[in-house]
With several copies, the nearest count.
Chain A
Amino acid sequence: MTENEFMSAPNELGHFGSFGGRFVPEALMPACLELETAFVEAWADPTFTAQYQRVLREFAGRPTPVTPLRRLSAQLGIELYAKREDLAHTGSHKINNVIGQTLLTKRMGKRRVIAETGAGQHGVATATACAQMGLECTVYMGEIDTERQALNVFRMELLGATVVPVTSGSRTLKDAVNEAMREWVTCVEDTHYCLGSVMGPHPFPWMVREMQSIIGHEAAAQLNDLGVTTPDVVVACVGGGSNAAGVFAGFANTTARLVGVEAAGGSAVGKGSPGVLHGMRSLLMQDEFGQIEEAYSISAGLDYPGIGPEHAYLADIGRAHYFAISDEEVIGALEVLSLTEGIIPALETAHAVAWILKEVGREIPLGSKVLLNLSGRGDKDVAQVREMLRGQG
């Protein structure tokens, strides 16, 4: 938890530049303050961080390896490495954050966790950590998503969680967050809200980034072992931005170029403007009157109209750069990585892959050393991809 020039702690209001903050109903303010205090104390407590690291090691399979993607590198004319969050328990980086927050829940003496989920990755991860630690767990999920991702609903139920279909608004992720916040108001006493990305009110964006920064710190050391002192480019997909923030954290104060890749249909940096939603001031997709727009992406995990406030800030100051990838480009990238490297990435991750494939020789000079954060595995998406390829062919 070193003090960085870039990606250090936000100010006491949770501001990253003009972004972040804590835009919550007064009823939740004490819980946010309590959480901030608890997090700051825990994160400075070697006993806590050791426990966090132990659970990640013993239970979640950390450290995940860095894999040199040799065949794809040769084809592209760059040196490409993948940080393998797909190998973490439950299949993505989401577990890192969730283990940190559930441990914190126990430390705060709370007995119950609520969470929102879109496709179900964060929900499954939360249900998993709660089962492992013996916490009660309720997951809010848009009704449409519960239908699209019925298997993930069943997975959460197997893990002992209660899944509540959210029938308000667009009945997807954005509304699941609204509903989780509404519910949190009624049970802050004994319940922690385990937010799934670097978003929401302070201290969530900072806390989740810190709990994901293990990705970047591991990767930096592992690349070093592979002879790469500093990569030229670090690339990650961005939904809320937690995997990106996690990997960026390991390289923020190096010369590495940091690149976040959004879905074209959920491109808060590309198409958004500053706004306030879900407890934070950040970049949001919204209409002329400030009504939040529906995101649409082929990948449920990037289907969010906002972005974490720290990313908005990093974009603002030019420390990180954000690009958008269209649905059409994603499937091809998933196929290329599967075929040449034997890794079927999540559709979310495939956005980052697609950007690399597209930009070699342009944004990525030939010969560059590139680190791809392979945020998750594609098993969850295989049925969908199959349908889509059938549709095409």
Chain B
Amino acid sequence: MTSLEKYLRELRSSGRKALVPYFVAGVTPDWITYIEAAAHAGADAIEIGIPFSDPMMDGVVIQEAALRALDAGTNLDSISADLSALTASVPLIAMTYYNIFHHYGVERAAGKLQSSGITGAIVPDLPLEEGAEWFAACATHDVASILLVAPSTPNDRVARITSATQGFCYASARMAVTGRSSDGGEGGRVVERIRQTSDIPAYIGIGITSPSQAHDASMAGDGVIVGSVLVQAVLDGASASEIELMVRQFRLAID
């Protein structure tokens, strides 16, 4: 069991719902301050988006942030360098598209994550069937490979995914890319189907944009992932303390 999973299982045992905010690395020169702020506000783990030119699973908000980060010259090496200045001690999870790791070299990339203090990775365009190499590299470097289950995933696949995912299982709340949201989504039903196959912690994400949505999701799952709404605030020029306030509101809603 990876360190991340151990940590998150203990968190669940303690009765605490996990809050996982998401930020795009490099979106501003001082993006690290958002990570610090979120940690301060009670985040249990933080997703760090590594920008990719073609973010197929992301909506306009995260696309825009990724573009800004890329324009600023962000890459795996620069992110690693930036992270060395991080003081908060919170589990970090990388989120990006497979080509970033593939091109960097999977072994080298997993090592880089580890040396940067990142203990988990979400690669939405890398399905179970194609992941063997990456999963092996992650295993070597104590990086949890976190897989997603979608509302459309049939039951037999859910079982295979939950038996392979590490850290937690990402329950996609809706058939959509990041950032879209109006209703509560189907996260609860996805979590139920995950639980029928495994006792891995199940976190709900995709389209959770308000504290009340987060509250509902936390009733169903073991944790919630909150991305676009924070990234939008960053794009709009929010200060680190404003971000801290936002994260704190989500914290309150799920406690």
Do chains A and B directly touch (beta carbons under 8 Å) in the complex?
yes
> Are B56 and A25 touching (Cβ within 8 A)?
yes
Interface assignment of A169: CB less than 8 Å from any CB of chain B: yes
A307 shortest CB reach to chain B, Å:
15
A31-B152, A289-B104 known; A26 vs B147 contact (CB < 8 Å): yes
Asked whether any CB of chain B lies closer than 8 Å to the CB of A278, the reply is yes
Check B124 for interface membership: any CB of A closer than 8 A: yes
Q: Which residues of A contact B76 (CB under 8 A)?
A: 289
At the interface, yes or no: B130 with Cβ under 8 Å from chain A?
Answer: yes
Residues A169 and B130 in contact in the complex (CB < 8 Å), given A27-B151, A31-B152: no
Which residues of chain B are near A178, meaning CB under 8 Å?
Answer: 54-56
Q: How far is the CB of B135 from chain A (nearest CB, A)?
A: 14
Q: Is A87 an interface residue (CB 8 A)?
A: no
The answer to whether A26 touches B153, judged by C-beta atoms less than 8 angstroms apart, is: yes
B99:A276 contact, CB within 8 angstroms: yes
A27, A174, A281, A289: the one contacting B175 at CB < 8 Å is: A27
Interface string of A172-194 (1 = CB under 8 A from B): 00110010011001111000000
Determine the residue in chain A with the shortest Cβ distance to B127: A29
Given the complex of chains A and B, what is the CA–CA distance between A275 and B172 in angstroms?
26
Among A13, A29, A182, A284, contact of B59 (Cβ-Cβ < 8 Å):
A182
A22, B57: Cα distance in complex, Å: 15
CB-CB under 8 A from B175, the residues of chain A are 27, 185-188
Task: Give the one of A26, A178, A186, A278 with max B CB within 10 A.
Answer: A26
Query: Number of residues in B with C-beta < 8 Å to the partner?
Result: 43
Q: How far is the CA of A273 from the CA of B104 in the complex (A)?
A: 12
Tell me how far the C-beta of B98 lies from the nearest C-beta in chain A, rounded to whole angstroms: 5
Of B57, B98, B154, B176, which is in contact with the most chain A CB atoms at under 10 Å from its CB? B57
- The answer to whether B54 and A277 touch across the interface, beta carbons within 8 angstroms, is yes
B127 adjacent to A290 (CB under 8 Å) = no
Which residues of the partner chain A approach B101 to less than 8 Å between Cβ atoms? 290
For B102, the chain A residues whose CB sits under 8 A away are: 274-276, 281, 290
A279 within 8 A of B: yes
A273 cross-chain contacts in B, Cβ below 8 A: 103
List of A residues within 8 angstroms of B103 by Cβ? 273, 275, 286, 289-290
Count of interface residues, chain A, beta-carbon cutoff 8 Å: 36
Please tell me which one of the listed residues B58, B99, B147, B161 contacts residue A275 in the complex, with CB atoms under 8 A apart: B99
Closest to B126 in A: A23
Given A178-B56, A186-B176, A276-B99: A25 and B148 interface contact (C-beta under 8 Å): yes
Q: Would you call B56 and A278 a contact (CB within 8 A)?
A: yes
Partner of A29, one of B52, B98, B157: B157
Q: Say whether A292 faces chain B, with CB atoms less than 8 Å apart.
A: yes
Q: Do A25 and B150 contact each other (CB < 8 Å), given the known contacts A30-B157, A290-B104? A: yes
Complex alpha-carbon distance, A273 and B105, angstroms: 12
- Whether A37 is near chain B, meaning CB under 8 Å from some CB there, is no
A185-B148 Cα distance, complex, nearest whole Å: 14
Scan residues 138-196 of chain A and give those whose CB is less than 8 A from a CB of chain B.
Answer: 168-169, 174-175, 178, 181-182, 185-188
> Is B213's CB within 8 Å of the partner chain A?
no
Asked if B154 contacts A276 (CB within 8 A), the reply is no
Docked Cα-Cα span, A277 to B55, in Å, equals 10
A291 touches B (CB below 8 Å): yes
Q: Smallest distance from the beta carbon of A141 to chain B beta carbons, Å?
A: 16
Does A21 touch B at the CB level, under 8 Å? yes
Taking a contact as CB atoms under 8 Å apart, the answer to whether A289 and B75 are in contact is: yes
Sample of 28 A–B contacts (CB below 8 Å): A13-B130, A23-B98, A25-B57, A25-B124, A25-B125, A25-B148, A26-B172, A27-B150, A27-B152, A27-B175, A29-B152, A168-B63, A169-B53, A169-B63, A175-B54, A178-B54, A182-B56, A185-B177, A186-B180, A275-B103, A276-B98, A276-B102, A277-B99, A284-B99, A289-B100, A290-B99, A290-B102, A292-B99
Residues of A at the B interface (CB closer than 8 Å) are 13, 21-27, 29-31, 168-169, 174-175, 178, 181-182, 185-188, 273-279, 281, 284, 286, 289-292
